[in-house]
Amino acid sequence: MLELVKTADGSNTLFNRDVGEHYHSCHGALQESRHVFLKAGLEYWLSHSSSSQVSVLEVGFGTGLNFLLTTEHCMDKNVELNYTGIEPYPLDLQLLKNIEYDNYLLQDVCTTFYSSYIVSLEKKILISDHCELEIIVSKLLDFQSQQLFDIVYFDAFASARQPEMWTVESISHVCKYMRPGGVFVTYAITGDLKRTMKLLGFTVHKIQGAPGKREMLRAIKN
Ligand SMILES: C[S@@+](CC[C@H](N)C(=O)[O-])C[C@H]1O[C@@H](n2cnc3c(N)ncnc32)[C@H](O)[C@@H]1O
Residue 127, judged by CB atoms within 10 A of its CB (0-12, 13-18, 19+), counts as buried
154 CA distance to ligand 1 centroid (A)?
Answer: 9
The mean per-residue pLDDT over the stretch 58-73 comes to 98
Please write the tens of the pLDDT for every residue from 143-193.
Answer: 999 999 999 999 999 999 999 999 999 999 999 999 999 999 999 999 999
**Percent of the chain at pLDDT exceeding 90:** 99
Identify the sign of the CA torsion 156, 33, 122, 182.
negative
pLDDT at 156: 98
pLDDT at 169: 98
Alpha helices in the chain (DSSP H): 29-33, 44-47, 65-77, 93-98, 107-120, 168-175, 191-199
50 CA distance to ligand 1 centroid (A)?
Answer: 31
**Cβ of 157 below 6 Å from ligand 1:** yes
**Percent of the chain at pLDDT exceeding 70:** 100
Q: Structural domains in the chain? A: 29-221 (3.40.50.150)
| Residue 116 to residue 145: CA distance in whole angstroms | 22
pLDDT at 113: 97
Q: How confident is the model at residue 31 (pLDDT cuts 50, 70, 90)?
A: very high
**Cβ of 23 below 6 Å from ligand 1:** yes
Mean pLDDT across the chain: 97
CA nearest to 65, candidates 98, 29, 95 = 29
Helices then strands (H, E): number in the chain?
Answer: 7, 11
Q: How confident is the model at residue 208 (pLDDT cuts 50, 70, 90)?
A: very high
| DSSP annotation of 43 | I
- Rg from Cα positions in the chain: 16
The mean per-residue pLDDT over the stretch 63-68 comes to 98
**Cβ of 136 below 6 Å from ligand 1:** no
